[in-house]
Amino acid sequence: MTSFIRNVSFDCSDPYSLAQFWSEVIGSAVPPEYTPGAAEVAIEAPDGPRLYFQSVPEAKTVKNRVHVCLQPGDRDRDAEVDRLLALGARVSSDHRTPDGAGWVVLLDPADNEFCMTFSTAGR
């Protein structure tokens, strides 16, 4: 018997707001049963595990030990990084190479790290 990934969980101070950001990232709406001030929010990813956001009292203090790696779907990596920056992400470190390979480490509005890898379409 094996296990499956049920959630990728995010600790944060405002689950609803962070779920709104990630819903734009993955193109999946926050279900209507969740409202501002909710202690937990879950959104279903179209092609992956659901994303689960839970309220915690403490602020993030160190680098994530596990993080989400994204690959752009219908655009090249740099265009997708620009889209995520417009949504409120910030660049933590940039590991892109001149040949189009590499990745960008981004921070979501709660300072959780995630990566945007290269796109096979953009290479």
Instruction: Give me the helices (H) in 1-123, please.
Output: 15-26, 77-87
Where are the domains positioned within the chain? Answer: 7-57, 67-123
Q: What is the mean pLDDT of residues 46-63?
A: 90
**DSSP per-residue codes, 98-115:** TTS--EEEEE-TT--EEE
CATH architecture, domain 67-123: Roll (3.10)
Q: What is the pTM of this model?
A: 0.89
Q: Hey, which CATH number is domain 7-57, 3.10.450, 1.20.1070, 3.30.720, 3.90.550?
A: 3.30.720
Q: What is the pLDDT of residue 92?
A: 96
Q: Quote the CA–CA distance of 110 and 105 in Å, as a whole number.
A: 14
Percent of the chain with pLDDT over 70: 97
Rounded to the nearest integer, the mean pLDDT of the chain is 91
pLDDT in tens, 11-36: 999 999 999 999 999 999 999 999 99
CA 59 from centroid of its chain's CA atoms:
18
